[in-house]
Structure 1
Amino acid sequence: MGESIQKNKKINLFLVLAGVFITNALIAELIGGKIFSFEKTLGFEPLNISLFGDFLLQFNLTAGVLIWPMVFITSDIINEYFGKQGVKKITYITVGLIAYSFLAIYLAMKLVPADFWLNVFATDSQGNPFNINEAFQKVFTQGLNIIFASLVAFVISQFVDVYVFHKLRKITGKNKIWLRATGSTLVSQLIDSFIVLFIAFYFLGSWPIEQVLAVGITNYIYKFVIAILLTPLLYLSRFIIDKYLGKDFSKQLQEEASAASGSKLF
């Protein structure tokens, strides 16, 4: 395979992985303000297990957890083929784009609403009085808290993920990608889950500590299970990537990525 073809394939692979990573991270930030009942969504009654005094253990999750596992899975795939430099690069880009989104939402909240817009949505679907601008403000105010908290948690958890991934890689070598990928994801998501909730809903919000812990535990249980279930996706992704790159070039990238000093990204 010619050097220019290899370089193009490497760039294309990074762009696709980066696109998946950034898209999932940004969407997770925007929908993270909604708390939903996992049990009721599936048609079951909440578990209602007593936990932390008056708070019950129910699977009330932030909507963002639906796709956050994809962020960490993609991060592990980037780590596998592009090493620490690749993960750091995409992390910094994502943080910049999320910060930009934060600013755009903040400015949108400061805009004076048009009268006709308020009148068109003056009532809800049941005919009750409704202030759409107030609803917009409440949804996105909570969303801003989530975005700020997630930025802090995201950076910390990403670097923890990279650290654990490479520590496990030294032990497993090129084999057992499931162990280093799933292991690093489980550790990093434990940190991510609680940092986000503590900052967004405890320090910047009004949740009591018991509620933060209860939701944090259920969030992590969900992420733990999903991380395990997504393990086959790692092998499928690796199979597709290896077919695209070619066996020899794929092996070369993985060896470069595993080097302690890392390699030149492009």
Structure 2
Amino acid sequence: MTLPYEFVDSKLHERRERVFLVLAGVFIGAMAMLNIIGITRFIEIPIPLPGFLASWYGASAFPLILAVGVLPYPLTFLCTDLISEFYGQRRANFVVFVGLLVNVLVMGVMWLGHALPGAGLTAPPWQGLPLKGPVSLPGETILSGDHVELFDFLYHLTAASVVASMVAYLTAQLCDVYVFHFWKNLTRGKHLWLRNNGSTLVSQMVDTIAVIGITFGGQYLRGALSTHDILVLIGGSYAFKAVAALLDTIPIYILVAWLSRYLQIDPIAEHRGWDGKADKPAP
């Protein structure tokens, strides 16, 4: 039996919106993780070097040092690129601003939790941290004492970087969406790899310099961090993001090919000269 056109259209619309919600959810989830776990820990990923580079560098591997919050961040650019490809620039920018509002909500909840009085002696023992000496955090905050609340420590650590990450996030994500569509229009929908990597590599550099510069700028000006330390943080973080961006080239080709069929959207229809005979791409 042939289904009425209206029913098929509504089912297709539901499918498209469901995929949009999944992409937006992954994007916002990755952003929330970035701000919550942020700079709570720095990790080192050894990158093996080929012989001639190892002899020049003086070691067999290059230590890639980055904040643990950076790990899920490349997913955000993959999601915005897919949203841009199938749903357009306006909806991609909409998701970016929703992500910003979620970050504000997360920070508001953390501020409220910090502002309310603690439970004191009735609190579980794991809520306190004994510090051997004063601990200097980004953002000019210094914590000290025999009993510092774990949440208080995490709050100051997160608050120090959340403003930086919000500024960097908004700038980088809007830059990513704009550059993606710039390359898409310039190449008339061809060369997906160029708009995917070109937009991500540029926006990741903007994000990395902004977030590290704002987060650790105060410590750098006080002399607590050297220029070498800042460059290592920028280099390690950007190298990880750049490698992740290059590695997602094949997955994005696979996803675009599959989603084009699943959503019945031709992402480059406007560049083919749409004539009204096929489904018009979703706005």
| CA radius of gyration, larger in | 2
- Secondary structure of the corresponding residue to residue 212 of structure 2: helix
Q: CA deviation at 1:257?
A: 10
Between stretches 233-242 and 198-207, larger displacement belongs to: 198-207
Match of 2:175 among 160, 164, 186: 160
TM-score (norm 2): 0.75
8 Å Cα contact 1:79-1:257 kept in structure 2: no
Change beyond 3 A, Cα 1:160–1:131: same
- Structure 2 residue corresponding to 1:131, chosen from 122, 147, 167: 147
Comparing both chains, which one has the higher relative contact order based on Cα–Cα distances under 8 Å and sequence gaps of 6 or more? Answer: 1
Aligned alpha-carbon RMSD (Å): 3.2
Return the alpha-carbon distance in structure 1 between the equivalents of residues 71 and 129 of structure 2. 31
Q: What is the rounded CA distance, in whole Å, between the counterparts of 1:137 and 1:226 in structure 2?
A: 33
Q: Give the Cα separation in 2 of the matches to 1:40 and 1:170.
A: 39
How many Å apart are 1:4 and its aligned residue?
A: 2.0
User: Distance in 1 between the 2:204 and 2:246 partners?
Assistant: 13
Match of 1:180 in 2: 195
State whether structure 2 residue 89 is matched by structure 1 residue 84. Answer: yes
Q: Mind listing any 5+ residue stretches in structure 1 that lack a counterpart?
A: 51-56
Letter in 2 for 1:4: S
CA–CA distance in 2 between the matches of 1:187 and 1:197?
Answer: 16
Deviation at 1:230, TM superposition (A): 1.6
Percent sequence identity is 26
Q: How far does the alpha carbon of each residue in 1:99-135 deviate from its partner, in whole angstroms, 9 at most, with x for none?
A: 01111111111222222225465688xxxx97361x3
Bigger strand fraction: 2
Is 1:218 the counterpart of 2:223 in the alignment? no
Q: Is the 1:149–1:200 contact (alpha carbons within 8 Å) kept by the matching residues of 2?
A: yes
Q: Provide, for residues 225-252 of structure 1, a one-character-per-residue CA deviation record: whole Å limited to 9, x for no partner.
A: 1111121221222133123213xxx11x
| 1:7-41 alpha-carbon deviations (Å, 9 max, x no partner) | 22221121111111111111111111224232379
CA distance in 1, matches of 2:272, 2:160: 36
Q: Could you list the runs of 5+ residues in structure 2 that have no partner in the other structure?
A: 49-53, 131-144, 274-279
Q: Normalized against structure 1, the TM-score is what?
A: 0.80
Runs of at least 4 residues off by over 6 Å: 263-266
Shift of 1:61: 0.5
Would the alpha carbon gap of residues 223 and 80 (structure 1) be closer, same or farther in structure 2, given more than 3 Å must change?
same
